[in-house]
Amino acid sequence: MDLFDPRYRPWFIGAETSPKDIIFLIDYSGSVKGQTLHLTKITIRHVLMTLNPYDYFTAVNENFTFIQISALNVTFDRFSKNFEKTNDKREKLKQNLGDVEGSGGHKIVLLFTDGIENWPTEVIEKYINENPNDAIRVFGFSMGYGTGAMPALDHSTCLSKGAYAIVDSIMDVRLQSKSYVTKLSDILALVYNEKPLTERPITFVVPYMDVQGSGALISISMPILNKMENATSGFLAIAGVDISFSQLREILPTNNHLYSFIIDMNGIVFFHPKLRIPDSIMD
């Protein structure tokens, strides 16, 4: 069985989305344990594989306080309070961070939970109303074996124009971990649809060693818009091509007093005549 799927390769994912600022909001309450916790970890690991050097991310885990009151068990949910505290301290964080900036692209929150009692719906509505020009999309993941659909989580993601996925088995992990990318690609397709082909950016992937022995490669890719009627997705496909280092040496100008090199916006060296090529492939 061939498990290779080009849709999960960096050149494919890089072309179908723009840079992202991501917050992983992880439910770490008492109910998230055992198989559910294991499933959450695996899903987050697969989500991380969909990121690239141009994405910025951080993670926050949230717990709940459980208190015994006579014969009643009362759960005090701090989810909404933390949303509000984060929002209140936003300007202070900006001042403390100084000139540090994000990706300049999408702002998204990935919420992984097996269910909570008091959903932060009102906080999300308040933020959207007070900041109509600062779009932050919430993508929800219903985690756990047999957890199933969560209407409240679905509603929260719908408010922010995000998406919602159910991960209740190992079989769902790989597909659903990329579900948020599908939503973002449709948004990017709308932007590209208004631009001519010559103005659409080309995606360059960080160099890697070819598994078939062709040496060091740089992959470049570009999405193909879906122009069909009643299309279910913004992109029809992703076109990509590999360029070997030997081909680059033939294309780039060089002589005794000149050599060429390629770097990206993050300062990552893509090609340099004196760049050491690894002897073996490392994953």
* Confidence (pLDDT) at 97: 52
- Contact present, 86 and 123 (Cβ < 8 Å): no
Cα dihedral 148/150/155/161 (nearest 10): -40
Look at residues 170, 192, 214 and tell me which one is the last residue of a structural domain: 192
Residue 183 sits in the same domain as residue 213: no
* Confidence (pLDDT) at 221: 94
Confidence of residue 261 (pLDDT cuts 50, 70, 90): confident
Look at residues 161, 192, 223 and tell me which one is the last residue of a structural domain: 192
Does 68 or 167 have the greater pLDDT score? 167
Residue 280 placed within a domain = no
* Confidence (pLDDT) at 83: 55
Residue 25 sits in the same domain as residue 150: yes
* Confidence (pLDDT) at 48: 92
4-50 pLDDT, tens digit each:
788 888 899 999 988 899 999 888 777 777 888 888 899 999 999 99
- Contact present, 256 and 271 (Cβ < 8 Å): no
* Confidence (pLDDT) at 91: 60
pLDDT, average across residues 109-137:
82
Domain residue limits at 39? 6-192
Residue 141 sits in the same domain as residue 184: yes
Residue 228 sits in the same domain as residue 177: no
* Confidence (pLDDT) at 73: 39
Residue 138 sits in the same domain as residue 55: yes
Residue 129 sits in the same domain as residue 218: no
> Which burial class, exposed, middle or buried, applies to 75 when counting CB atoms under 10 A from its CB (0-12, 13-18, 19+)?
middle
b or e along 217-236 (b: 16 or more beta carbons within 10 Å of the residue's beta carbon)?
Answer: bbbbbbbebbeeeeeeebbe
205-236 pLDDT, tens digit each:
888 888 777 788 889 999 999 888 887 788 98
64-95 pLDDT, tens digit each:
443 333 333 344 444 555 555 555 555 665 55
Residue 172 sits in the same domain as residue 231: no
Residue 188 sits in the same domain as residue 206: no
Look at residues 192, 207, 239 and tell me which one is the last residue of a structural domain: 192
Q: Name the percent of the chain lying above pLDDT 90.
A: 17
Q: Strand 163-167 and strand 137-143: pairing? A: parallel
In the block, tokens 């000149």 appear at 258
